[in-house]
Structure 1
Amino acid sequence: MSAVNLNIIANLLRKQRRFAFMFPGQGSQHIGMGKEIAENFTDARLVFEEVDEALKYNLSRLMFEGDFNELTLTKNAQPAILANSIATLRVITQEMGLDPSPESGCVCVLGHSLGEFSAMVAAGVIPLSFASKLVRLRGQSMQTAVDNYGQDCTMMALMPISFENASKACEMALDHSSLQHEREVCQIANVNAPKQIVLSGTLSAVDRVVSIAKESFRVKRAVKLDVSAPFHCSIMKDAAVDLEAAIALGLDFVQNPSVPILSNVTALPVLDGHKLMELAVKQVTTTVLWTKCVEAASLDLQTETFVEVGGKVLSGLVPKIRKNVECLSLESFEDIKRLSNSS
């Protein structure tokens, strides 16, 4: 952690900065995630034990020392990332006294895709045990949806390209005679930054869009994502139905958040817990408007510092969206130890 980051922490501790917690989505999983903080902080260890108990499965063992391919399966990756994020947040609260509350200086929380469930747990909308079951089912249903679809599918990040040009490339590809079939899909899954777009859909359609993007819109990089299903597209519609049914069984758990949560679907702050659950269902098949979420946090809610909890990807994206804000990533045991020493 740099000296600049230590200064950021000092300002947060003095309640001199308006900050937002951010929670990562899939792709941030790795073997060993959470292991050191679980070994060194009781609050973190209790989070992993609670998730294991809720799922009736030793997920923490898989996270700490298992097989990466098994962890990357979306049914495992989703609850693993949730558990790691909440465990890290509990340690931040324990060591720094910072939590998602106005009293701490927190003005909002936001999560990227799956990270919205971490945000909802952090802000008190749903309990961790219920969220663990929801994201496990969400992952299982997503995997079943792609397996049942009967075609090879993928997700691909494109850079540099705007949302408008990516949309045009999708339209051009799907108008091509070889792809004029209702089961060919390519949608914009994520708008991660002004010039970074993620595509989701069938392999043949996504490949065609990538070719058009390179030929017509000067895209220089196309990176395949390390995920097991094409998220945020129409292929996931059955998964959305399953998630809605599971949420309906636990509506008694739902509370309003302690601070606004910025929705991936609308990029608007939401303070109604039941509305957040409705939007979580819609998010399964629609675009994650991450760029607009960060802009709303910065411009509308006047967030000065973005603190990523349990990952390092989002804190790299934020400066591409808003150059005049501070970013801090708290992921590893070393991050937490330096944090503890500075507080």
Structure 2
Amino acid sequence: MKRVAFVFPGQGSQEVGMGKALYETYDEVKDLFEQADEELKVPLTKLMFEGPQDELTKTEHAQPALLINSAAIVSLLEKEGIEPVMTAGHSLGEYSALVASKALKPLAAAALVQKRGQLMEHAYPTGKGAMAAVLGLDQDAIQNVLDGMKDDEVVDLANINCPGQIVISGSKEGVDQASEQLKEAGAKRVLPLNVSGPFHSRLMKPASEDFSEALKNTELSDASIPVYANVTAEPVTDKQMIEELLIEQLYSPVRFQQILEKFVEQDIDAIVEVGHGKVLSGLVRKVKRRMKTFQIQDPETLQAFIDWYKEDS
């Protein structure tokens, strides 16, 4: 039996048309999408298929849309008897990983990330926060610049994605100042991200306090498959620890590079990106070029993976 790891995309991977081919092909996908519309009291399926893109991109819509899309693919894989030996997700994608690992049920997870998105959206004044991707500079060099920032400007490491690609987050003024200093320190490029807030920075702490209440009202179980947490890059299965780490995740850096480094050290045959897009597969190749990857986002890519998984098994 082949050993595979599942990874799940986060916010930014959403795109109008996502999930449509799966919805039209599989009854169980259609059922899950329609149940999500009812549970969330939002025409999520219509937004996913027809847009507009700016409405789908709103944090409170993008997060449940991406989760339900990934959860639907997981259900199709489970039907084929395919389960991963470990999972992880990028930021929001961690919730999809918890669904795949049986710690969260899909509709409960969708409602939880809808609330998470609302809290993140309103945690800091619109337009006052920012994020930027720093290319071509290592983590220590970036941290040195951030450590030298004025105390009244908050800028933190937000996403440690892969060698040479790290995202910073904080106040708009702080990120603008840090961007100039990082270029002077040798960054090849510093690219502002099209996001609505300073995610994974200290400025998200107010959202984490409210979010802990939402988590307490969500049914959470021990994970049956290890989930590598964003906050620690370590495997976790205990539900209490999962809860604590999900709260911390809102204002802590996503250590995705470390997670991938640990994955490729394991005896696994492939890393499978489950959900819309190919961003995470690209990060895998930056960490280990020869690691076999799959992206599953439509009936064709689903079948291609199933065929590979079942050959000679």
Shorter-chain TM range is over 0.9
**Residue identity matched to 2:214:** A
Residue 92 (structure 2) aligns with: 114
Q: Does 1:279 align with 2:245?
A: yes
Deviations 1:140-170 (A, max 9, x none): 00111122xx762111111111111111121
- How many residue pairs were aligned? 308
Q: Which runs of 5+ in 1 are unaligned?
A: 1-14, 100-105
**Partners in 1 of 2:47 and 2:74 — Cα distance?**
21
**Partners in 1 of 2:206 and 2:212 — Cα distance?**
10
**Partners in 2 of 1:160 and 1:81 — Cα distance?**
29
**Partners in 1 of 2:53 and 2:198 — Cα distance?**
19
Match runs of 1:10-49 below 5 Å: 15=1, 17-49=2-34
Contact 1:20/1:303 (CA < 8 Å) preserved in 2?
yes
CA-based RMSD: 1.7
Residue 103 (structure 1) aligns with: none
Distance 1:233 1:337, change over 3 A: same
Q: Does 1:224 align with 2:156?
A: no
Deviations 1:258-291 (A, max 9, x none): 2110011011111212211210110000011111
Q: Which runs of 5+ in 2 are unaligned?
A: none
Residue 273 (structure 2) aligns with: 308
Q: TM-score, normalised by structure 1?
A: 0.85
Deviation at 1:339? 4.3
Deviation at 1:320? 1.0
Deviations 1:179-212 (A, max 9, x none): x42xx21111000002110011111111111111
Residue 37 (structure 2) aligns with: 52
Q: Does 1:236 align with 2:204?
A: yes
Contact 2:128/2:197 (CA < 8 Å) preserved in 1?
no
**Partners in 2 of 1:317 and 1:240 — Cα distance?**
28
Contact 1:20/1:107 (CA < 8 Å) preserved in 2?
yes
Which of these residues, 103, 115, 140, is aligned with residue 137 of structure 1?
A: 115
**Partners in 2 of 1:208 and 1:226 — Cα distance?**
18
**Partners in 1 of 2:208 and 2:215 — Cα distance?**
11
Deviation at 1:90? 2.0
Contact 1:108/1:261 (CA < 8 Å) preserved in 2?
yes
**Partners in 2 of 1:129 and 1:332 — Cα distance?**
21
Residue 141 (structure 2) aligns with: 165
Contact 2:200/2:249 (CA < 8 Å) preserved in 1?
yes
Q: Does 1:248 align with 2:216?
A: yes
**Residue identity matched to 2:93:** G
Residue 214 (structure 1) aligns with: 183
1:126 alignment partner, SS class: coil
Deviation at 1:18? 2.1
Residue 77 (structure 1) aligns with: 62
**Partners in 2 of 1:337 and 1:305 — Cα distance?**
16
1:61 alignment partner, SS class: helix
Residue 332 (structure 1) aligns with: 298
Q: Does 1:323 align with 2:289?
A: yes
Deviations 1:73-98 (A, max 9, x none): 1011111110111112222333x431
**Partners in 1 of 2:280 and 2:299 — Cα distance?**
18
Identity %: 38
